[in-house]
Amino acid sequence: MSVATATTRVVQQHLYEGMFLVDSGKFATDHDGVTNEILGVLKKAGATVVAHRPWQDGKLAYEIAGMKKGLHYIVCFTMPGSGMKTLVRQCQLNETIVRQMVIKHPKSIFDATVAAISGNTPAPEATAPAATEG
């Protein structure tokens, strides 16, 4: 009599920071719609969003697809590495996202970025070593 052993494959979730460039005029008129489009693209790729917010709005260094101003939207998310191809393709097909850049981070940098985005950065004196007098 043989016993079948069920093997479960655990898919490793990587820690990513994504920067998405969108038309600042479009974001100004429908910021919820633009945000939902970015988050929808991530969801289709199998990502779990940890933190997100608009990052920088301003003049671009050079014109992209007729756009002179843009808004950079930053998102920290977890996702299996296999979702990257889907994410890039979904960004290319999306009319709202003009450019994207995704960086894989180690846990320490990812946690610091999430804290900065969400506003939960510890006070400097809480992280600095105690000063000794003498």
Distance CA 92, CA 86 (A): 10
- Going 49 to 55 to 60 to 66, the CA torsion angle's sign is positive
Mean pLDDT of the region 96-121: 91
DSSP state of 96: S
Tens digits of residue pLDDT in 11-66: 788 999 999 999 988 999 999 999 999 999 999 999 999 999 999 888 999 998 88
Nearest partner of 36 among 75, 64, 66, judged by Cα: 75
Looking at the domain covering 13-119, what would its CATH class be? alpha beta
Q: How far apart are CA 11 and CA 5, in angstroms?
A: 19
Q: Structure pTM? A: 0.79
How many Å apart are CA 84 and CA 93, to the nearest integer? 14
